[in-house]
């Protein structure tokens, strides 16, 4: 019986050792895949395409809540119709489309990932409003 127990113990240890060696490669593979997905290496063209797609879809999504017939109103929307500006060092963007102004905050870099904004503010500029330097100052009375 003692001999049987020793053989069983040796067999169990060798099987578990071989099995753990096979799975060690799986953990390494998982880590490499995760690193690759979290830190994609994109060309400038891919970054530009991601950015343009994210901006257009964000504006479409935001304005679709404001229009009665968004498919018709936004059918022709293209990136070339937008003016964009990034706040330096952040994922915060200012966008202008016609008389609409947007501020978007993205959870990740919209050049690298396909994403939607986590925060959005939309303002509609009234027709005829002059946003020049003295446009909103109160007149002083003497």
Establish if 112 belongs to a structural domain: yes
Q: Tell me the residue range of the domain where 107 lies.
A: 44-124
pTM check: above 0.85: no
d(CA 124, CA 96): 10
Establish if 132 belongs to a structural domain: no
Higher pLDDT, 16 or 3: 3
Contact 118, 106 (CB under 8 A): yes
Establish if 137 belongs to a structural domain: no
Establish if 51 belongs to a structural domain: yes
Establish if 94 belongs to a structural domain: yes
Reported as half-sphere exposure (CB side, CA atoms, 13 A), residue 65 has a value of 8
Higher pLDDT, 42 or 19: 42
Q: For the chain, what is the domain count?
A: 1
**What are 89-119's pLDDT values in tens digits?**
999 999 999 999 999 999 999 999 999 999 9
Establish if 50 belongs to a structural domain: yes
Using CB atoms within 10 Å of the CB of residue 43, give its burial: 0 to 12 exposed, 13 to 18 middle, 19+ buried.
exposed
Instruction: Write down the pLDDT at residue 133.
Output: 62
Give residue for tokens 């939607």. 116
């Amino acid at each position: 019986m003692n001999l049987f127990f020793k053989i069983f113990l040796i067999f169990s240890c060798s099987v578990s050792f071989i099995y753990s060696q096979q799975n060690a490669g799986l953990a390494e593979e998982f880590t490499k895949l995760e690193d690759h997905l979290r830190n994609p290496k994109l060309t400038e063209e891919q970054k530009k395409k991601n950015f343009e797609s994210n901006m257009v879809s964000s504006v479409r999504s935001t304005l679709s809540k404001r229009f009665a017939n968004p498919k018709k109103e936004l059918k022709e929307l293209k990136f070339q119709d937008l003016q964009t500006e990034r706040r330096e060092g952040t994922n915060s963007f200012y966008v202008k489309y016609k008389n609409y102004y947007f501020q978007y905050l993205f959870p990740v870099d919209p050049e690298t990932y396909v994403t939607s904004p986590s925060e959005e503010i939309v303002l509609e500029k009234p027709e005829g409003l002059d946003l020049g330097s003295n446009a909103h100052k109160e007149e002083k009375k003497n």
